[in-house]
């Protein structure tokens, strides 16, 4: 283990306290096998801590703990207002530990600490406060039925109840680790479910610290369990586990397909938030002072490791060169450095493996005739850094236009009219998000219904709100997180019909 430069004593103490442990049934345990996995700092490529490398028997233990907690009257009979208060307390605890959580996130993932603070941690707090309110607003319907009345002159009374789905298996990725944990644990707690949460191998720290804060907030033991280890062992065991009633997965389309098939094999509930290849469509009447920085941040935010990253830039031909030059100038000026340096605008990618994947895509783009107008190089630094990169002269059918790269790589293509822009935007297996930049309301209104995406932003990109449903169509997933819609993912509808 190496000492970590630039972190506070509080964060260092947390890392030491959590090393080699995970949360099962309210206890901090090692894997039954005693095996561990290392955790690497992407800014230095050095191992700085380790976590349990769980096996199937650890998953069994965590599921048993979650099942027992689901039946425990302390949780099962907790009044909705008390669940609400406990979630609000949890949000307050996150707020009291913002700086530490932001440091943990930056250290684990590489992202700039200022962004981790603003987006990851504050965003998680906002979401918890939002979802806490739903705990007291879960409701069913009274329903009129049309059966002939019973002979005794009575009638029928029918209603629906929304009941917690049960034990939730939450499998999350490394790009927004705390956000993704909160997006799944939050609604599970609001609806009265219990959870087995598996963070990504690259980024376990904030999920584990979140586990500590959940206990501190007073949730009964076993309501939330955090289990670490490799996806192919722990994630696979969770997906096929008969004790898990619902799988909530965020990650790649490839793994999501496997997880979904495994869950559906036993007809478990499943929601999938998967990959994306989001188009940014810019018309020549757009406000370029907003659209140029908007397009740059749409792709380079979080080192391009965002499922909604605006990775395909379609610009109307008359302004194409001017626009791409503007985005390239912003890319060239971005300050690359360690996430823990508050001046950093772009940190390292999450891992050596991820940087290699992204670099292979850049090479493929160049081999298929692409031309670099920005970046393309690995800076001469010890971590997993990569310059923000822009490719042009790529045909729509090329690999870099069709496949998700999940790194700071933008492909820019010109279009002539709105019909062509829509055709290009929709020519993708993904359908997560898109943005349209124009000052003409008619153009915007004509386009938005035609774009195949779960979210369409207009004159902005990457803005998510707790009250706005979020999710994808096509290969980008199934189900909507956030907003009222998320309650459907964590509850079952029970219909009750009484002869009265
Ligand atoms: P994945 O490789 O798919 O990993 C996601 C999670 O699944 C990790 O916890 C991983 O564990 C686990 N996993 C791996 N193999 C598994 C298996 N066979 N069975 C069950 N679980 C398994 O994705 P990633 O590389 O972490 O994240 C990047 C992807 O997530 C991108 O495609 C991105 O677009 C997508 N993403 C989508 C969204 C939304 S909301 N649509 C949000 C964020 C990210 P290990 O880490 O231990 O391998």
Per-residue model confidence (pLDDT) at position 314: 98
Nearest CA to ligand 1 atom 39: 273
Distance 175 CA to ligand 1 centre (A): 9
Catalytic residue among 100, 105, 273, 481: 273
Per-residue pLDDT tens listing for the chain (500 residues): 555 888 999 999 999 999 999 999 999 999 999 999 999 999 999 999 999 999 999 999 999 999 999 999 999 999 999 999 999 999 999 999 999 999 999 999 999 999 999 999 999 999 999 999 999 999 999 999 998 888 888 899 999 999 999 999 999 999 999 999 999 999 999 999 999 999 999 999 999 999 999 999 999 999 999 999 999 999 999 999 999 999 999 999 999 999 999 999 999 999 999 999 999 999 999 999 999 999 999 999 999 999 999 999 999 999 999 999 999 999 999 999 999 999 999 999 999 999 999 999 999 999 999 999 999 999 999 999 999 999 999 999 999 999 999 999 999 999 999 999 999 999 999 999 999 999 999 999 999 999 999 999 999 999 999 999 999 999 999 999 999 999 999 999 999 999 99
Mutation to probe ligand 1, out of 173, 230, 406 (largest number of atoms < 8 A from CB): 173
Contact in structure between 355 and 110 (CB atoms under 8 Å): no
Dihedral of CA atoms 472, 477, 481, 485 in degrees, nearest 10, equals: 80
Whole-angstrom Cα distance, residue 80 to residue 488?
A: 17
Whole-angstrom Cα distance, residue 219 to residue 25?
A: 11
Each residue's pLDDT tens digit, 189-203: 999 999 999 999 999
Distance 437 CA to ligand 1 centre (A): 30
Ligand 1 atom, smallest distance to 432 CA: 41
Please give the structure tokens belonging to residue 62.
């965590």
Per-residue model confidence (pLDDT) at position 2: 52
Distance 172 CA to ligand 1 centre (A): 6
| Catalytic status, residue 273 | yes
Count the Cβ atoms, other than its own, within 10 Å of residue 418: 19
Nearest CA to ligand 1 atom 22: 231
Distance of alpha carbon 426 from the chain centroid: 23
- Per-residue b or e along 293-316, where b marks 16 or more CB atoms closer than 10 Å to that residue's CB: ebbbbbbbbbbbbbbbbbbbbbbb
Distance 412 CA to ligand 1 centre (A): 27
Catalytic residue among 103, 202, 221, 307: 307
Please give the structure tokens belonging to residue 491.
């509850």
Ligand 1 atom, smallest distance to 404 CA: 32
Positive or negative: CA dihedral 207, 209, 214, 217:
negative
Whole-angstrom Cα distance, residue 56 to residue 228?
A: 11
Q: Which among 444, 445, 421, 434 is positioned nearest to 473, based on CA atoms?
A: 434
Q: Which among 221, 173, 207 is positioned nearest to 51, based on CA atoms?
A: 207
Nearest CA to ligand 1 atom 45: 231
Per-residue model confidence (pLDDT) at position 149: 85
Ligand 1 atom, smallest distance to 273 CA: 41
Please give the structure tokens belonging to residue 101.
């959580």
Q: Are strands 46-52 and 167-171 parallel, antiparallel or unpaired?
A: unpaired
Distance 165 CA to ligand 1 centre (A): 23
pTM of the model: 0.97
Helices (H), 201-300: 205-216, 236-239, 253-265, 288-300
Per-residue model confidence (pLDDT) at position 3: 59
What percentage of the chain exceeds 90 in pLDDT?
A: 97
Each residue's pLDDT tens digit, 269-325: 999 999 999 999 999 999 999 999 999 999 999 999 999 999 999 999 999 999 999
Ligand 1 atom, smallest distance to 199 CA: 9
Q: Which residues line ligand 1 (CB under 6 A)?
A: 171-175, 198, 200-201, 230-232, 235-236, 239, 250-252, 255, 258-259, 273-276, 307, 404, 406, 432, 472, 476-477
Per-residue model confidence (pLDDT) at position 151: 82
Contact in structure between 163 and 491 (CB atoms under 8 Å): yes
What residues contact 349, with CB distance under 8 A and at least 6 apart?
42, 110, 303, 305, 355, 358, 384, 385, 386, 407
Mutation to probe ligand 1, out of 252, 305, 429 (largest number of atoms < 8 A from CB): 252
Whole-angstrom Cα distance, residue 264 to residue 257?
A: 10
């Amino acid at each position: 283990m190496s000492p970590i430069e630039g972190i506070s004593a509080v964060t260092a103490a947390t890392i030491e306290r959590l090393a080699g442990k995970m949360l099962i049934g309210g206890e901090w345990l090692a894997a039954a096998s005693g095996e561990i996995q290392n955790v690497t700092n992407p800014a230095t490529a050095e191992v700085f801590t380790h976590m349990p490398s769980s096996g199937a028997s650890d998953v069994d233990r965590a599921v048993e703990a979650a099942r027992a907690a689901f039946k425990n009257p302390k949780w099962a009979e907790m009044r909705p207002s008390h669940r609400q208060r406990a979630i609000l307390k949890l949000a307050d605890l996150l707020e009291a530990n913002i700086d530490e959580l932001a440091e943990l996130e930056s250290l684990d993932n590489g992202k700039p600490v200022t962004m981790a603070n603003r987006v990851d941690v504050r965003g998680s707090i906002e979401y918890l406060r939002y979802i806490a309110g739903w705990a007291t607003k879960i409701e069913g319907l009274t329903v009129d039925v049309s059966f002939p009345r019973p002979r005794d002159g009575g009638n029928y009374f029918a209603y629906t109840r929304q009941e917690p789905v049960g034990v939730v298996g939450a499998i999350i990725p490394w790009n927004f680790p705390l956000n993704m944990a909160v997006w799944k644990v939050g609604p599970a707690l609001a609806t009265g479910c219990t959870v087995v949460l598996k963070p990504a191998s690259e980024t376990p720290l904030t999920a584990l610290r979140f586990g500590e804060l959940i206990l501190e907030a007073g949730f009964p033991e076993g309501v939330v369990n955090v289990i670490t280890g490799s996806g192919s062992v722990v994630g696979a065991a969770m997906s096929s586990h008969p004790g898990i009633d619902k799988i909530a997965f965020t990650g790649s389309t490839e793994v999501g397909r496997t997880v979904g098939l495994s869950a559906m094999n036993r007809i478990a509930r499943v929601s999938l938030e998967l990959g994306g290849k989001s188009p940014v469509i810019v018309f020549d009447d757009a406000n370029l002072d907003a659209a140029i920085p908007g397009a740059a941040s749409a792709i380079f935010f979080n080192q391009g490791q965002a499922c909604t990253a605006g990775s395909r830039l379609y610009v109307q031909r008359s302004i194409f060169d001017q626009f791409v030059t503007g985005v390239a100038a912003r890319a060239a000026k971005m300050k690359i450095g360690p996430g823990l340096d508050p001046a950093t605008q772009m940190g390292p990618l999450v891992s050596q493996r991820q940087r290699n994947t992204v670099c292979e895509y850049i090479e493929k783009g160049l081999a298929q005739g692409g031309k670099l107008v920005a970046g393309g190089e690995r800076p001469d630094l010890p971590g997993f850094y990569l310059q923000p990169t822009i490719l042009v002269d790529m045909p729509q059918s090329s690999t870099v236009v069709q496949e998700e790269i999940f790194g700071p790589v933008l492909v820019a293509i010109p279009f002539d009219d709105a019909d062509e822009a829509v055709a290009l935007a929709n020519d993708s297996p993904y359908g997560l998000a898109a943005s349209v930049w124009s000052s003409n309301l008619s153009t915007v209104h004509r386009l938005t219904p035609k774009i195949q995406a779960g979210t369409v932003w207009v004159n902005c990109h990457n803005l998510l709100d707790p009250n706005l449903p979020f999710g994808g169509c096509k290969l980008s997933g199934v189900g909507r997180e956030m907003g009222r819609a998320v309650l459907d993912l964590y509850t079952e509808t029970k219909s009750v019909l009484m002869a009265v």
